[in-house]
Amino acid sequence: MIRVTSYAQGNWVEKGKEQELKSAIDGSPLATLAEADLDYQAICDYARNTAGPELREMSIHERAFKIKFLAKHLLERKEAYYELSSHTGATRRDSWIDIEGGIITAFGISSQARRNLSDLPWHVEGGQVTLSRKGTFTGQHICVPRHGVAVQINAFNFPIWGMLEKLAPAFIAGMPSIIKPSPLGCYLAWTVFRDIIDSGILPEGSVQFIAADKPGDLFDHLISQDVVAFTGSAETGNKLKSHPNIVANNVRFNLEADSLNCSILGPDVTPDMEEFDLFVKEVANEMTVKSGQKCTAIRRTIVPKERVDDVVEALKARLDKTTVGDPTNEETRMGPLASSEQAERFGRQVQKLTEVTDTIYAGGNGQNGAFAGARLLLCHKPMQVDEVHSLEAFGPMTTIMPYGSAEEAVDLANKADGSLVGSLFTADDQIAKQLTLGCAPYHGRFMVINRHSAGESTGHGSPIASLVHGGPGRAGGGEELGGARSVLHYMQRTAIQGSPTTLMEITGQHIKGAETRESDLHPFRKYFEELQVGEHLITHRRTVTEADIVNFGSLSGDHFYAHFDEVAAKDSIFGKRVAHGYFVLSAAAGMFVDPAPGPVMLNYGLEELRFLSPVYPGDTIQVKLIVKKKTVRQQREDDPKPFGMVWFDVEVRNQNEEMAAEYTILTLVERKNRLDMDQGD
């Protein structure tokens, strides 16, 4: 028997008021929830004072690597989670979304953070903003860790995914987390959390766990530096969001609420088209996966009025093949709801909807307790019946809604006042454009499917780590995920202003116009650890000749008139023949590259190239190479040497000190030393 306990201030709290937790399959006792009388003020202080400073000392990439290694640790233990997950009513297919989907999300957020965010304790966001004519006063946005705690309140339907998709970005942002799962299915979240603690990967105090029905007086102790991320019903979410202390302290609050998501069959689609079958399959799938207990499930099926009968018959045929039963059986396609209480609640909500709709399919389940059959409802006048757009039955059901025009389809989709996701099945890209742009203001994500994209589609109901998950209006108005953006939700964006040199010292990244120092050795002779941000190399000079232009044109095949036609060039904006911009780029490389073998392994990219002044035959150019920023790269098994990535700013000036070209080159530079993260995957 599992005993679900709180983990607070570095200890498991074993004593507490006990509540029996039952299996959704047969109602047998499965676990005990021990709800302790916790000191929430002390819990918050422990997170802020114990883990907060340690996390903020680490770089974003160091924190991201810990999440990667944690995800790997959990993935190795997934089979134990699958066995336990079946008691929540989930089939193997359902559980994959929660278990491996959650772990993959953690992997994905870690990867996105390392790819897109600074390898510093803070993130230097975007380019600098010049604020003065001479450039001595400039601005830069940075995102820094908040000095608070991330409180995460999760719904019952995805105990693992909900926990990991919040924990990962908060930790990478440098914030410790207090995790409060729903009591329903909390034994699964607790089991994973126990493995997180046992792994020893995360610093002490960076995660705590509340085993309780409600969060007590936790919200009374939150401050302006804290963040709350809530997933669940709109009613509960709005109640918590309006808590007096949340309002008084302007505590950042991200609300992701269940919504009445829709899927639209395009007006161009006929029953003989692939898009029709894809649509029916997706609607039926979203009704039955997790027994319809998904915040992204399709509650409103919007269909051209002339296609209603076709869709109904096709859905009935597919639902008739859905086997309801024990989720541990391979033949089962839909298990029970998460509890008998959830089944009763689903039944009550469906009953309310049947008062304003027609029931056209009521699947039997042949079982009692938490099991429920699929329901298809039909609303003949969906523009006039508000209940179908505001009342959600959280289970295996959908309401079919006919429409007469593309404009009416958009109006119906938007009538629910905001949702997490909408989808459209059409073979006509003009229809796709019209309906997508019409629906976009009311949906956090909008998926458009045709025969070309369906094969690799992740599906209507699948949030992806690299894309935003959230929605306006009823859906909560918040955002989660979105790749590196999910990390920035937990950080404070600050605009800093000052001289370029001062800002370079503050940010740890070169700012254009900052005073730099000459390198004591050619930068290409230095290992990664030896390179310092802000050091530079100034090259020898080179005078550009007409022969250079002719030879480069012959080699490249670029005989553009401005380089070769003296008469036409006189009438151009240059006034005479000019050197190729790419010749200037190539000549600059020849001037700053050190040709002998050394720590620089390769140049793998170029960014932000601008040709700012023309270079004429007879002009003399000189290059300044500046170390801009650095990122450590994890050494993998197939990497011959450990290395890091170094960005060099390149400035090419003419004899008048005018900037002819500027850009950034990306290089791989060998490291002297191995790090703990090397060979970690």
Tell me the C-alpha distance between 141 and 127, whole Å.
8
Pair type for strands 375-378 and 358-362: antiparallel
CB atoms within 10 A of CB 502: 16
- Give the residue with greater pLDDT, 14 vs 303: 303
Q: Is the pTM of this model over 0.95?
A: no
Nearest to 381 by CA among 406, 348, 358, 350: 358
HSE-CB at 164 with a 13 A cutoff on CA atoms is: 33
Mean pLDDT of the 329-338 span:
86
Name the strands in the sheet holding 138-145, side by side, starting at the edge strand that comes first in the sequence: 123-130, 138-145, 491-498
Looking at the predicted structure, is the pLDDT value of residue 680 above 60? no
DSSP string, 109-160: HHHHHHHHS-SSSSEEEEEEEE-SSSSSSEEEEEEEE-SS-EEEE--SS-HH
Mean pLDDT of the 104-119 span:
93
Nearest to 161 by CA among 182, 146, 144: 182
Question: In 427-545, which ranges are continuous DSSP H helix?
Answer: 429-439, 484-488, 500-507
Nearest to 419 by CA among 585, 503, 298, 319: 298
Catalytic annotation on 295?
A: yes
Write down the pLDDT at residue 400: 96
Looking at the predicted structure, is the pLDDT value of residue 365 above 60? no
Write down the pLDDT at residue 367: 61
pLDDT in tens, 382-428: 999 999 999 899 899 999 999 999 999 999 999 999 999 999 999 99
C-alpha pair distances (Å), 67 with each of 173, 293, 408, 467, 676: 11, 28, 46, 19, 14
Looking at the predicted structure, is the pLDDT value of residue 292 above 90? no
Give the distance, in angstroms, between the CA of residue 235 and the centroid of all CA atoms in the same chain: 25
C-beta separation of 264 from 413 below 8 A: yes
For the record, the structure tokens of 463 come out as 């949030």
The domains of the chain, with CATH numbers, are 40-258+485-492 (3.40.605.10), 261-462 (3.40.309.10), 516-670 (3.10.129.10)
Active-site hit among 262, 295, 379, 439: 295
pLDDT band at 328 (very low <50, low <70, confident <90, very high): confident
Mean pLDDT of the 610-636 span:
91
pLDDT in tens, 137-162: 999 999 999 999 999 999 888 899 99
Classify burial at 520, counting beta carbons within 10 Å of its beta carbon; exposed 0-12, middle 13-18, buried 19 or more.
Answer: exposed
Tell me the C-alpha distance between 497 and 130, whole Å.
10
pLDDT band at 78 (very low <50, low <70, confident <90, very high): very high
Active-site hit among 256, 286, 408, 651: 256
Tell me the C-alpha distance between 562 and 573, whole Å.
9
Mean pLDDT of the 554-564 span:
88
Catalytic annotation on 262?
A: no
Looking at the predicted structure, is the pLDDT value of residue 673 above 80? no
Q: How many residues are listed for the chain in this entry? A: 681
